[in-house]
A and B are shown apart, each in its own frame.
Chain A
């Protein structure tokens, strides 16, 4: 057993294009996330962030390489991975007609939890994510921030130790984003391993413990903010510097 909750090694994903050519969306990506850590996966649109996260979450099968969550391998033990992982995406997929309570209860059942466990988890989620004011309101009448909070609740309903978030603040305003990221800070404190992809660098610059910068499927830089930024001053500058450097190698 190793200390990393999420670990990926030499992950490769190739797609066959409509003209028959092979497109390598993710190329030899390796990284890890420990318990109580937030790692930011940074990259432009189409860099390979979503594909990487979906391979970790067993939604896509790697062409080669390995992804593990809590020592469960995504290929040999996908069920173990799914039980240990919560997944949040930019599109919340929260149905308008259901209330947060109905949705979270449904997903608790979908996860195979017992009714008593679901009730306990629901109470924990209501408190932790501050859902009490709108838990029984149809989701169609909620703001984007509130819907994303419910989506986070859906990912946490089975109390997974690992959390993967794919551009969770995309549809949120500044208040909603800060609110969500504050919650992630709290989850980190309670021991969750969090892997978060985004291209809104300013939002997470001071939130993540480490960063991995990905471009055209490759990791072009990785490290803490201080390691990446150096003398350049801003994470954004370091990001562009890493991408330019990656393009020339």
Chain B
């Protein structure tokens, strides 16, 4: 047997500490690891079904009666950045802790120096990439079927909306996933319904902390719908400019991920929980 290139003494305090490590590489490693897990046949099939669903709905609608461009945009918005992104993130972000506990990998990941943060951020990145990818495929298929005018502009707009939806909602679902790992899916569905689709539609200050308000406001601004909106509908959108809306989502994401990271750092699971 060959001797280890470094002896035990090399790690003793008087001889200096081992390197702090490359956090970005650690997050990238977890992202790759999680994406690899998502690339199984059942998950790919599930992604394809998810991607086909909005296109199928669009096909069914336009076969019944032709719809104008605004209606097409409204339908795509409801089906992809709202419904498909939320469903995709429920599947990919919620099991951030539960999956590791179930597969027996939790201890091996969290015993690493930045293991917990890397697990959170790596899974977040993988969830955004996978859901974003499925949503973009779905967007292309749906646009192909709907064939609206000026499709390039819609591709750009919806790509940004999908990106914001994925990043914002993945961060939102990270919080219940670390607080209630074994009930993360139910908790996240509850959060989606209560925060995103109830509080987000309340014409009150509380809707400022929702991603859905930002997405609706961006859609209304980029589609130049504001002046045509009925007065009662203006209560459900924000007046701020697009950069402010995007900045608000970024701040929200930072707060949610910091909160989730803080909680995750303190999570302890008795050995019985893993068995």
Contact = CB atoms under 8 A, between A and B. Distances in A.
Interface of A: 1, 5, 15, 25, 35-36, 50-51, 54, 57-61, 70-72, 79-80, 82-85, 87, 89, 91-93, 95, 97-98, 106-107, 109-114, 120, 124, 127-128, 151, 154, 158-162, 186, 189-193
A191 B36 contact: no
A61, A89, A193 pick with most chain B CB within 10 angstroms? A89
B113 A93 contact: no
Contact of A51 (B4, B5, B18, B270): B270
A128 B1 contact: yes
Interface stretch (B25-33, B186-194, B214-222, B252-260): B25-33
Contacts of B17: 80, 83
B18 A83 contact: yes
B23 A112 contact: yes
Contacts of B268: 59-61
A50 B274 CA distance: 12
Interface in B98-112: 103-112
Given A97-B36, A109-B25, A110-B118, A82 B4 contact: no
A186 B1 contact: yes
B273 to A, nearest CB: 11
Contact of B108 (A50, A71, A87): A87
A95 B37 contact: yes
Interface stretch (B7-15, B123-131, B173-181, B240-248): B7-15
A41 to B, nearest CB: 14
Contact of B2 (A54, A89, A97, A128): A128
Contacts of B8: 5, 35-36, 70, 161-162, 191-193
Nearest to A85: B111
B104 A89 contact: yes
Contacts of A80: 17
17 contacts: A35-B9, A51-B271, A59-B111, A83-B18, A83-B21, A93-B107, A95-B37, A98-B36, A106-B29, A106-B33, A109-B22, A110-B30, A127-B2, A128-B1, A161-B8, A162-B8, A192-B8
Contacts of B37: 95, 97
Contacts, number: 144
Contact of B113 (A79, A128, A192): A79
A1 B15 CA distance: 11
B13 A71 contact: yes
A112 B22 contact: yes
A109 B28 contact: yes
B118 to A, nearest CB: 6
B3 interface: yes
A158 B104 contact: no
A15 B270 contact: yes
A219 to B, nearest CB: 19
Given A109-B22, A112-B112, 9 more contacts: A35-B9, A36-B8, A84-B11, A87-B111, A89-B104, A93-B103, A112-B26, A186-B1, A193-B8
Given A1-B13, A128-B2, A82 B115 contact: yes
A115 B13 CA distance: 25
B6 interface: yes
Contacts of B148: none
Contacts of B36: 95, 97-98
Given A82-B111, A161-B8, A95 B13 contact: no
B135 to A, nearest CB: 25
B133 interface: no
Nearest to A117: B19
B109 A161 contact: no
A25 to B, nearest CB: 8
